[in-house]
Amino acid sequence: MLINQSIIIDIKAIIAQAKDNAVRAVDHQRTLMYWHIGKRIFEEEQDGKDRADYGKYLTEYISSQLVPEFGSGFSKRQVELFRQFYRTFPITNTLYSRLSWSQYKLLIRLDSREQREFYIAETMKNNWTVRQLERQIYSNLYERLLMSNNKESVLAVAKSEKQPSDAKEIIKDPMFLEFLGLKRESSFYERDLESAIIMHLQEFLLELGNGFSFVARQKRIHIEGDEFFADLVFYNRMLQCFVIIEIKTTKLTHQDIGQLQMYVNYYDRIEKLPHENPTIGILLCASKNDAVVRFTLPEGQRQIFASQYKLYLPTEQQLLNELNKELESFEGKEDTDETLLK
């Protein structure tokens, strides 16, 4: 007797889903347990707030009583983390069952409520794993987006309260490509970087951000007998437009900008459908002069962007330096504009 084998596939999928749901349920109950422990510690601490160092001795005492029976998961550091967890998320209704305790431990360490709300929204929307959330936090995703946008807009887009009205709201500068495994001391060609991106396409899509899907590599563009090849073509469903990425392993030139502008024009006139938005072009380069980019392109244009790539995740000091450079560049641009108007 012949039996449709799809029934076995379906049953296995049901079993896998049930196991996954069970693991999530157990982890959520553990998270709630830690929250209630933190709440109880906080309440006790508040009762003894007039006693010096009461909080320190309290967590030490609780840990000493729990570790012999329940193990190292209740060390002094962990007990302090439970207290911090409650203080960071004091309303139990704000806890999400889809977030694991390991993800909450990462979120607790963030400095501001806006940061936490952003990463929670992105994790929920994109179903990030603990490792993916950790990578996005350590690559300073939130801060990079804020370099050219306001906090309210970035958070609203992340929480799906609004669609991005400008590509700047989701395009990052710089982009961190540490997952490619390339050494900055080594010399490599553009095709090497392109091949590495294709080999790590899932990680690259994560770095690009929300709504991107891969379309083509070395897309052939035929213009009246002449052939050109666009390095990478993506589509963004949030912006509803094609996104062309050109890779440059050297410093960006105005000729590079002109070449990408031609590709963007081609897609707008030949490939784009009537209901779609204008094509976006991104020059992914080793280094750039923002003034050259600004003066090469028409004032106020919103289709061509230059984004510098980095092969290593930044330190906190490096990020601070980048932010200071952005502020200085913005102030310098204002001075230049005022001079030109005189």
* Candidate ranges 55-59, 180-184, 218-222; pick with highest mean pLDDT: 218-222
pLDDT of residue 134: 93
What is the distance between the alpha carbons of residues 74 and 81, in angstroms, rounded to a whole number?
Answer: 10
What is the distance between the alpha carbons of residues 237 and 152, in angstroms, rounded to a whole number?
Answer: 22
pLDDT of residue 340: 44
Residue 303 tokens read as: 């289709």
pLDDT of residue 341: 44
Q: Considering Cα of 251, then 255, then 259, then 260, what sign does the dihedral take?
A: positive
Residue 103 tokens read as: 């993800």
Residue 188 has pLDDT above 80, yes or no: no
| Contacts of 54 by beta carbon, 8 Å cutoff, 6+ apart | 45, 48
Rg over CA atoms, the chain: 25
Tell me the per-residue pLDDT of 37-78, one tens digit each, with 9 for 90 and over: 999 999 988 876 667 677 788 999 999 999 999 999 999 999
Least confident of 79-88, 188-197, 203-212, 307-316: 307-316
Peptide bond into 174 cis (omega under 30): yes
pLDDT of residue 312: 83
Residue 205 has pLDDT above 50, yes or no: yes
CB contact at 8 A, 161 and 117: no
pLDDT of residue 181: 87
| Contacts of 254 by beta carbon, 8 Å cutoff, 6+ apart | 292, 296
Class of domain 170-313: alpha beta
Domain boundaries, the chain: 7-105, 110-162, 170-313
Q: Of 187, 211, 173, give the one whose Cα is nearest residue 323.
A: 173
- Sequence length of the chain is 342
Tell me the per-residue pLDDT of 283-336, one tens digit each, with 9 for 90 and over: 999 898 888 888 888 887 889 999 999 888 766 666 666 666 665 655 555 554
pTM over 0.75: no
Residue 241 has pLDDT above 70, yes or no: yes
Q: In this prediction, what percent of the chain has a pLDDT beyond 90?
A: 51
Tell me the per-residue pLDDT of 76-119, one tens digit each, with 9 for 90 and over: 999 999 999 999 999 988 899 889 999 999 999 998 999 999 99
Q: What does 169-208 look like in DSSP terms, one character per residue?
A: GT--SSEE-GGG---TTS---HHHHHHHHHHTHHHHHHHH
What is the distance between the alpha carbons of residues 253 and 105, in angstroms, rounded to a whole number?
Answer: 44
Q: Considering Cα of 262, then 265, then 270, then 276, what sign does the dihedral take?
A: positive
What is the distance between the alpha carbons of residues 315 and 66, in angstroms, rounded to a whole number?
Answer: 37
pLDDT of residue 219: 95
